[in-house]
Amino acid sequence: MGDVIRYWNRGAEELYGWTSQEAVGQVSHALTQTMFPAPLEQITAELLQEGRWEGELVHTRRDGSRVVVASRWTLQRDADGRSVAILETNNDITERKQAESRLRRSEATLAEAQADLAHVSRVTTLGEMAASIAHEVDQPLSGVVINANACLRFLGRATPNLDEVRDGLHAIARDGRRASDVIGRIRLLARRTAVEKQPLEINEVIREVIALAEGETQRARARVRTELAPDLPRVTGDAVQLQQVVLNLLLNGLDAMQRVVDRPRELVVRTQQEGTDGIHFAVQDAGTGIEPEIAQRIFEAFYSTKHHGMGMGLSISRSIVEQHGGRLWAVPNDGPGTTFHFTL
């Protein structure tokens, strides 16, 4: 298996500065002068036992500058189960780490740093979802190509079949809109804009996020069941920030169920009216639950139970909810798992 680089994609060329021809055949961690969060032997042992490892690494680029990456290693095995390679994917989180550092250093710039950190957190989350998002876009685009080729065949006949062409064009338009919707959601969350509060339909905000996270839900072999109360009062808020809260809670719920094998991996998302003009939101997972000592700390800044976590997702989410006049909290379920609640 070893640490010899067999494949070096364009993203790695851009991030580190070495071309594929220069990198392939080199020892990866020697080339990038990798700084590990734990002894390499310990990381390797976890990789061999679990089949994967996640953590933060510091690499040195060709020009001598340093880059911090969220690294994911997946063990590749042959048909006989022997370890043959490691698939390593790295996301540049240098900007995020710098934002964290600014937040720690200066309370005077806390508001600006929190805004920067919230934005970087959204962009980082989208980066971690890149594979599933690409799949969501690729499906309708594949449909467009298939239907376009079919239309050309129908038009190329001696007597063109215009009914089939019309149906094909309708399908192309439908798939084009679907791909455009996915891209629109990504662009909305990726933008760095000032907070803009306006009347919102919270159920629509939730549906948008569930649609965006569909690929992650499938990858986790889970399902999302919704119980959204009709005719809820509109709430005044920033759509992007509230989508960030809902997305964070959904992804946390999926992550909590990652090791569940003895029951369905189901997330239940609920809304109901709270008082005369408020709403209550809940996302219930069927995961392994949260230990009491951990439950007291999960909303603290920079506290994380994940190897690759920045420890800011829930802290940022609570700040957003409180800025909207609500509150965010978590309670253990009567059965397995945890339910996160927030009110607006």
Q: 55-99: per-residue pLDDT in tens? A: 999 999 999 999 999 999 988 888 777 888 888 889 999 988 888
Can you tell me the distance from the alpha carbon of 170 to that of 51, in angstroms, rounded to the nearest whole number? 45
CA 108 to the chain's CA centroid: 30
pLDDT of amino acid 317 = 80
pLDDT tens digit string along 98-128? 888 877 766 545 555 455 555 666 666 666 6
pLDDT of residue 224: 92
Structure confidence at residue 323 (pLDDT): 78
Give the pLDDT confidence score for residue 70 in this predicted structure: 92
Q: Please, are residues 302 and 289 in contact by the beta-carbon 8 Å criterion?
A: no
| pLDDT value at residue 64 | 94
Q: What is the pLDDT of residue 138?
A: 66
- pLDDT of res. 126: 64
**Predicted pLDDT of residue 239:** 80
With b for 16 or more beta-carbon neighbours within 10 A and e for fewer, the 148-178 pattern comes to eebbeebeeeeeeeeeebeebeebbeebeeb
Buried b (16+ CB within 10 A) or exposed e, 57-76: bbbbeeeeeebbbbbbbebe
Q: How many whole angstroms separate alpha carbon 45 and alpha carbon 190?
A: 37
If phi > 0 it is left, if psi is from -120 to 50 it is alpha, else beta; for residue 40 that is alpha
Q: E strands along 25-177, which residues? A: 52-60, 66-77, 83-92
3-state SS, residue 227: strand
First to last CA, the chain: 52
State which residues of the chain have pLDDT below 50: 108, 113
